[in-house]
Amino acid sequence: MLKAAGCCADDWANVFATDTFDPKKVCACRFYGKVVLGNCQLVDSTIADCTLADGCKVIGVRLLKGYTVETRSLLRNIGELSADSQPYMPRLSPMNENGRRAIGVFRDMTVGDAFLWAKHRGEKAVMGKLQQLAENEAALKPIGHVGKDCAITNCLCIRNVAVADGSTIESCTSIEDGVVGNNCHIANGVIAQRFLLGENVCLLNGLRLSDSVVGDNSTLACCEVVASMLFPAHEQHHNNSFLIAATLLGQCNIAAGATIGSNHNSRHPDGELLAGRGFWPALCSSFKHPSRFASYCLLAKADYPFELNIPLPFALVNNNVAKNRLEIMPAYWWLHNMYALKRNALKFKKRDHRTYKRQHIEFDLLAPDTVEEIIDARRLIKAWTLQAYNPATAGVSRPDERQIEIVAHGIENSKRKVLLLKPGKAYEAYGDMLVYYAMKTLTGNGSRLNPHYDCKSTDRVKKWHNIGGQLVADTDLEKLFADMQQFTSWNDIHMRFDNLWNTYAEQRQRHAWLVLLDLLLADDIDDTQWLNLLDRYDTICAEIERQADLSRAKDFNNPFRLMTFDSVEERDAVLND
């Protein structure tokens, strides 16, 4: 019947059919090598060394080679969709253009897996074990795989790309050597080479992507991203921005005109940029590699001419060209943009439409990683303030900021001044942020009773690692490395991270308690102190609501914001959330 329908094969003995196969659904196809056919629809396609499950459709594919296509998936109008027959693991070089952080990618790999492998190059035994486990995964899970309920249409060439369940690829020129996570969407002229996508990722509108890892819930469009490691909830969709050799730890937004990666301070392209969660450079910003930024740094529009090391979270950074100095306002978000801070705290969870959620993600703005940055920032502000005074006045707790300049040190690789703006207010704001984090964490279960944790302030874990979005205590990561040689599959690593995630809430509560002990310089918190903390927490919560309303009210009270509307009713219909 297949011959009568215009089909041919190099050897019909290698064409197999399952019990559900219906030959009436196949016409004008060419078969090469071993082909296994379920109850699928095949029209005018060349199929070599493939397994096609029930319910899939292959229509007008000029070459389909080396793939297993799962049920209910559609392949239509494709020039080439092929994979190597031998065990093949695509390799990419994220974080650095010199290629010395190269990793392999395989099916079911998470962003955390990729970062763990690319980052910790000093752990040679761990690196060797990860290479071994990855090779085993690649052998067990061939790269030539299209999952269930996928749609790949109107594409020119796709080679050695695994596509997980629910993903779509349409109208793309070239997609090669990568892994597409669950429920991803790639469309409209995207060119991607050597990549790993997490779950629920969108690549759109002429994006150029290579040697990069893109985290869950991210959207990239119109731009160029090379040799980068992007954690979940990354947004970059302007056609005049590019990002090279950067590691951004999630919830970041790259504005139009941002050119990150164009400047290196050496004769080789081996610089790196590392930014914590919430990194947000303004329009047309550029930076010199290497640079490092604490979490939630907002950088004003500028060309930053020197390498930067910004340890102050939630800060506004400005290159003041007129006065030839760098200016930093610590805790800017808390002091002046509470509405945006509150909105960000909600939107990342709201936009998490993942189905499988293999990659665990900490969405809260105030978490152990950012809190430890705040504690360090308070220490730095205090030290810089003391340096600004002579010994006779060093005991003054809060300077008159109109009379004395607080200069920060070790921030910029230059001889010019780095000035702190409103350091006294920032110090107090950071203190409120610590209390808010700790009390919100400790009362999050609905109880406002004193938990009385039996631990000392010295027990606080001060170093936390962001592994693809999941926060891991330094001691737990060290134990993972110590146990690595006993693991027999990469799934053992995933199980360890699952177990750590299950205990993370308790770890965070203990951390919050110890932060309070550090703030109070105490070994315990009695009930009277606890009631005072509850009162302060309630006051802070009320102030957050008030400041958020004030921030948003500026959009309605500013006459320049209203001049394009003919009536209050029109304004409210357009601007109200």
| Residues 449/553, Cβ–Cβ less than 8 Å | no
18: pLDDT strictly greater than 90: yes
| Residues 208/222, Cβ–Cβ less than 8 Å | no
Q: Which pLDDT tens digit goes with each residue over 412-435?
A: 999 999 999 999 999 999 999 999
569: pLDDT strictly greater than 60: yes
Q: Which pLDDT tens digit goes with each residue over 218-270?
A: 999 999 999 999 999 999 988 788 899 999 999 999 999 898 986 555 667 78
Look at residue 222 in the predicted model and tell me its pLDDT: 93
Average pLDDT, the chain: 93
pLDDT band at 560 (very low <50, low <70, confident <90, very high): confident
198: pLDDT strictly greater than 80: yes
Mean pLDDT of 401-408: 78
Tokens describing residue 191:
């060119």
Mean pLDDT of 539-555: 84
Where b means 16+ CB within 10 Å and e means fewer, 107-127 reads bbbbbbbbbbbbbbeebeebb
Mean pLDDT of 93-116: 97
Look at residue 392 in the predicted model and tell me its pLDDT: 53
pLDDT band at 398 (very low <50, low <70, confident <90, very high): low
76: pLDDT strictly greater than 60: yes
Within 8 A by CB and 6+ apart from 376, the residues are 311
Mean pLDDT of 40-56: 97
Task: Name the residue with tokens 């979005």.
Answer: 469
Look at residue 45 in the predicted model and tell me its pLDDT: 97
Q: For 9-18, 183-192, 267-276, 290-299, which range has the lowest pLDDT when averaged over its residues? A: 267-276
pTM above 0.85, yes or no: yes
pLDDT band at 455 (very low <50, low <70, confident <90, very high): confident
Convert 130-192 into a string of H (helix), E (strand) and C (coil): HHHHHHHHHHHCCCCEECCCCEEEEEEEEEEEEECCCCEEECCCEEEEEEECCCCEEECCCEE
Q: Which pLDDT tens digit goes with each residue over 30-44?
A: 999 999 999 999 999
Look at residue 209 in the predicted model and tell me its pLDDT: 97
